[in-house]
Chains A and B, each alone.
Chain A
Amino acid sequence: MTTTKYNYLFGLIAFVVMIVVNFALWRLFFAPSNGVFKLFTPMYGLSLAAFYFYTVILVADIFGWKNETRNIVKGIAPLITSIVVFYVIYYVFFWNILGQFGITYFSPQAQIATGGTGLEIWNARENSSLAILFVATALIWVSMIWNTGFGNAPWDGMKQTVVGFSKFFATAFIGIIFYAIFFHPNITALFQPKQVFAGVLPWWDGIAMTASSFYHLGWMFAGLFILMFLNDCMDGFPFNLFRSDEKSGSWIGAIVALVIAVGGGFIFMYITEAIMSYYWYEPFTGGNYTDDPRFRHVHTAEIAAFFMLALMIVKVFFNNVFQPANKWLAAIVRLIVVSGAGMLIYYFYYSETLGPKFVDRVPGIGNIDDTSLCWTLMSMTMILVYDKFFNAFPIRK
């Protein structure tokens, strides 16, 4: 049996380096005013960040290609692979195959070619990006539930490539169904006239006070935070009850993971939106900024993402900080630490001074064109890459 030791000083140094790299990457790719490529328009940048986040999960957790050694050179191959896969799926598959020969809205050029109302390069690219963002969300959500509940079951013991492809096809199949039900109707309603023969009108309109799929983005991201917390801060409880030495998961485990992701997601959303209503009054259909139900829902996702980012920082760089023998005490302390750190990042991002300077944004809150999700997803992906492909070198021994 091997044990892992953590060097907290190295953790702190790595965290500081991460902040510097984060700033550099944001300025290179996304920063809207001072950036080099200025990809945060916002949906284009957000979809890129989200899809690359999924690609890292795909390579590391679905195909199981992780670097668990202290040799950082071994991390380069999966890193490059993830970038190539991301590029091929995003630009070749979505923009030039699926969009050109199958579903118009995945390709900006195919949309422009229709000559439809308002379809020029900016709107068309934002439309495609929104669709790809939603596909990525569905895939991330299903993949994380699958990994949590099923693990590698029912393919335990088989070759890693067999397990990888089996899990990929299974999660992609289910992910597409979730996408079709929860997100596709939003995308087909982006056009004039609405594409009612391709997709139903958004059926959640009455419940969510908006026809936007940001409603589903909200509870799904919230559910992901709950799953991540249980996995990373509670040693996988309760899903570990459904595992054994032979089986890394089970049907019941998967159902429990699904129920917790959905139920936990809605509870999280109910609480965060209650707090928002306390500060900003009730939202109403058609409102803007903080009055907009669409903003309230996406802000739930943003808050969940801040918490997920905090959780990853606390876990990867600081080994969950506190290691008591009592797991319930550990869970409570970690919940407090993660929530506190998440709120700190929230205040940092939305502060009048620091946040706007660091991420190059206009101060203020409620602007749908300035969702924090792009920055948090980019930040989480960086940590994921560092953790999965480079084994958090040199923190772990």
Chain B
Amino acid sequence: MKRRNFLKAMGATAAGVGAAATLGAPSKAFARGKEDIGECKSLKITVLTETSWFDNDQFKKDIVDNGGASTNQYDIPWDPKNAGGYATLLEIEQLDGTVNKLLMDTGWSNEWMDYVYERHGIDKMIASKEIDTMVLTHWHLDHFWGIESTLKHNDKIKIYAPETMYPEDEKLLYGGKNEAKGQLINKNDVPFKGELVKTNPKQFYKLYPGVAIKEFDVPILLRVRGENVVYVNVKGKGIVTVTGCCHPGLLTLYSTARRQIKGGDQIYGCYGGLHISLFENWDPKMDDIIKGAKAFNPKKMGCNHCTGWVWAENAAKAGLPIVKGTNEYKTYPRQSAVAKDSNVFLTNGDTVVF
């Protein structure tokens, strides 16, 4: 090919590409059928504990000193004094007035979880089977390693957990202990004897009218995989997502609701860790989430845990309906070192009704 011909051809190609670029976005993916999860009257959330650890810097140090974000959580000799936990009580009022109680997650430190359960009467609710089901959102230490605190009140409690469990998780669940570099990092002296429903992303697990679990098979830091999300459809208001850490991403949850849940076009709100600025750092991605969340037009956003105070403050400033917490958390024996007076987190002891 001659040089002149080549340059002519290149000009024509550029024009063609320019024309093609104006044709619009590529083809959309297949639309799938929508799931009917029913409706409930209201959802009340009680923040039992959202302080998974108390000192962010120590938690990060434990991770960095042992290899970083993708290190196996069972290989890290965590500072036991820093352990707290994450757990939430969901009270779902049905259209006929009955109330179902559901426990989400079981925290990390048994000492901390025993205190939290006693403070809120969760121990008695589990023992009396007023709470007979627990949703384990994912297998992270701060959501699961406190399992003994739950099982000692009822070792047959029904558990929904992501199917992507590792042998160490199984060992702890069924009565065992794990060590990292010679240090005991967790233990459970009460073997689990109940039904374990291993959730997968192929289906919705309907618990009560208006309440369903959806598993998202996503890789997560510290070698964990998969997270359960509870979708609640509040009659006349819309979808509320209740999360442990929300690793799949809040907007992905909303988008999934729109695509896969009947009535999911109407987003009402969210509660839980949103896994945005876990370590109070910033990234343009966090601006993206604020912008994207506005597009879904949520009415009530309760957040805490791994959301990041800095993100919640910026989101509130940007006009997102962040529900403010109270100072109730100060009556707990320990507080997070990053807690601020802005109260943009729903913290320990707070409640919110959707």
A residues whose Cβ falls under 8 Å from a Cβ of B:
32-33, 35, 38, 40-42, 44, 117-123, 127, 186, 189-192, 202, 209-212, 237-238, 241-242, 252, 256, 259-260, 263, 266-267, 270, 273-275, 277-282, 284-289, 291-294, 360-367, 369-370
Contact = CB atoms under 8 A, between A and B. Distances in A.
Counting chain B CB atoms within 10 Å of each CB, the highest count among A191, A241, A362 belongs to A362
Nearest to A241: B3
Contacts of B10: 256, 259-260
A363 B225 contact: yes
B287 A192 contact: no
Given A241-B3, A365-B219, 11 more contacts: A117-B310, A210-B288, A274-B26, A277-B29, A278-B26, A285-B292, A286-B295, A294-B285, A361-B70, A363-B219, A364-B225
A363 B289 CA distance: 25
A194 B255 CA distance: 29
Contacts of B293: 286
A123 B3 contact: no
Contact-residue size bin, chain B (C-beta under 8 Å from the other chain): 35 or more
Given A118-B281, A238-B6, A277-B27, A32 B68 contact: yes
Contacts, number: 193
Interface in B12-61: 13-14, 17, 20-21, 25-29, 57, 60
B80 interface: no
B288 A286 contact: yes
A369 B60 contact: no
B284 A190 contact: yes
Nearest to B75: A33
B328 interface: no
Contacts of A35: 67
A367 B26 CA distance: 23
Given A33-B70, A191-B282, A192-B282, A291 B291 contact: no
Interface in B66-108: 66-72, 75
Given A189-B284, A362-B225, A364-B217, A277 B71 contact: no
Interface stretch (B150-158, B184-192, B243-251, B263-271): B243-251
20 contacts: A32-B71, A33-B75, A38-B67, A42-B69, A117-B282, A122-B279, A192-B314, A210-B285, A238-B6, A256-B6, A270-B26, A278-B27, A282-B25, A285-B291, A288-B218, A288-B247, A289-B218, A362-B219, A364-B225, A370-B70
Contacts of B280: 117-118
A40 to B, nearest CB: 7
Counting chain A CB atoms within 10 Å of each CB, the highest count among B7, B285, B292 belongs to B285
Nearest to A39: B68
Nearest to B21: A270
A81 B223 CA distance: 37
A118 B70 contact: no
Nearest to A238: B6
B67 A364 contact: no
B166 to A, nearest CB: 10
Contact of A287 (B247, B255, B282): B255
B252 interface: yes
Given A287-B249, A287-B255, A121 B64 contact: yes
A286 B251 contact: yes
Contact of B69 (A41, A121, A189): A41
A209 B295 CA distance: 13
Pairs A-B, 9 closest by C-beta atoms = A286-B292, A288-B249, A274-B26, A32-B70, A211-B284, A38-B67, A118-B281, A364-B219, A41-B68
Counting chain B CB atoms within 10 Å of each CB, the highest count among A38, A288, A364 belongs to A288
A294 B225 contact: no
Given A270-B21, A285-B295, A287-B249, A367 B282 contact: no
Q: Dominant SS at the A interface?
A: loop
Contacts of A121: 60, 64
B303 interface: no
Contact of B287 (A211, A278, A291, A365): A211
A42 B221 CA distance: 11
A186 to B, nearest CB: 6
A192 B284 CA distance: 11
B285 A212 contact: yes
A241 B70 contact: no
B309 to A, nearest CB: 9
Contacts of B28: 277-278, 281-282
Given A117-B281, A281-B28, A362-B220, A33 B71 contact: yes
A238 B217 contact: no
Counting chain A CB atoms within 10 Å of each CB, the highest count among B25, B60, B67, B223 belongs to B67
Contacts of A252: 7
A287 B251 contact: yes
Given A42-B70, A369-B221, A287 B252 contact: yes
Contact of B26 (A202, A277, A289, A370): A277
B289 A369 contact: no
B235 interface: no
Contacts of B288: 209-212, 285-286, 293-294
Contacts of A256: 6-7, 10
Interface string B177-221: 000000000000000000000000000000000000000011111
A4 to B, nearest CB: 26
B224 interface: yes
A189 B70 CA distance: 25
Nearest to A279: B29
Given A33-B71, A242-B3, A369-B221, A284 B255 contact: yes
